[in-house]
Amino acid sequence: MDMFDDILTSYLEKTADVESTLLGHINRETYLKERAPHMLSGHYQGRLLALLSKLVSPKKVLEVGTFTGYATLCLAEGLAPGGEIHTIDSNAELEDRVRGYFAQSGLDHAIHYHIGDAAAIIPNIDGPIDLAFIDADKKNNGRYYELIMEKSRTGSLILIDNVLWKGKVVNAEADTQTQQIATLNNQLAHDERVDKLILPVRDGLFLLRKR
């Protein structure tokens, strides 16, 4: 199931702020060089992430799943003065290219790029976390969520990507990965610690605000 067709996506992008030259470059290079370029947040979702970050004005952001750094730079746009973003990825092969993008952005002084197991790294990052974005291996989303909740303050915002999984979450006979996503969605829907809703943006974005 396609959440949006190309015509509607183009319209949404035209009515949003334009992406920077650097973000456009990252977008193009990702589609040229990566086997799964659809993992990139892209123009429209990137502008949503940037706007949410600006609304929160976070001092500390945590991102699980850096990929090529597109979303990282979008989230960094809203950092409060002196703020910082910690981003974690397991793919060391992309490190040099991603660090190059960060250096070009002029925000590399505020970005802490970690390579390794997010479940082992998150406990070593000092809180409180004001804004978090989980966009990594889906089977561990629940674990990352709980680790982040422990370090989040009241009013902090947690975002989880790909929660509609191309619409497959409504299929009762879905595959194992889809069932894992649907199970976590149901758990989050009943989590009284947070205010929550899913935005049908691209592949679904869960917004959760810690009470």
Convert the pLDDT of each residue in 90-146 to its tens digit: 999 999 999 999 999 999 999 999 999 999 999 999 999 999 999 999 999 999 999
In this model, does residue 2 exceed pLDDT 80? no
Strands 205-210 and 194-199: what pairing? antiparallel
Give, in order, the Cα–Cα distances in Å from 62 to each of 36, 59, 142, 164: 23, 10, 15, 22
Q: For the residues 36-64, what does the mean pLDDT come to?
A: 96
Cβ-contact 122, 141 below 8 angstroms? no
In this model, does residue 64 exceed pLDDT 90? yes
Q: For the residues 162-174, what does the mean pLDDT come to?
A: 86
pLDDT of the residue at 25: 98
Average pLDDT in the chain = 95
Tell me whether residue 174 is in a domain: yes
pLDDT of the residue at 1: 44
- Containing 150, the helix (H) or strand (E) segment is helix 141-151
* Alpha carbons 176 and 46: distance in angstroms, whole number: 29
Q: For the residues 164-178, what does the mean pLDDT come to?
A: 86
Tell me whether residue 60 is in a domain: yes
Indicate the range of 2-6, 114-118, 147-151 predicted with least confidence. Answer: 2-6
pLDDT of the residue at 10: 87
Residue 41 DSSP SS3: coil
CATH number of the structural domain spanning residue 81: 3.40.50.150
| pLDDT band at residue 211 using 50, 70 and 90 as cut-offs | very high
Count of domains for the chain: 1
| pLDDT band at residue 173 using 50, 70 and 90 as cut-offs | confident
* Alpha carbons 183 and 64: distance in angstroms, whole number: 20
Residue range(s) defining the domain that contains residue 32: 6-210
Tell me whether residue 87 is in a domain: yes
Tell me whether residue 51 is in a domain: yes
pLDDT of the residue at 172: 62
Tell me whether residue 1 is in a domain: no
In this model, does residue 7 exceed pLDDT 90? no
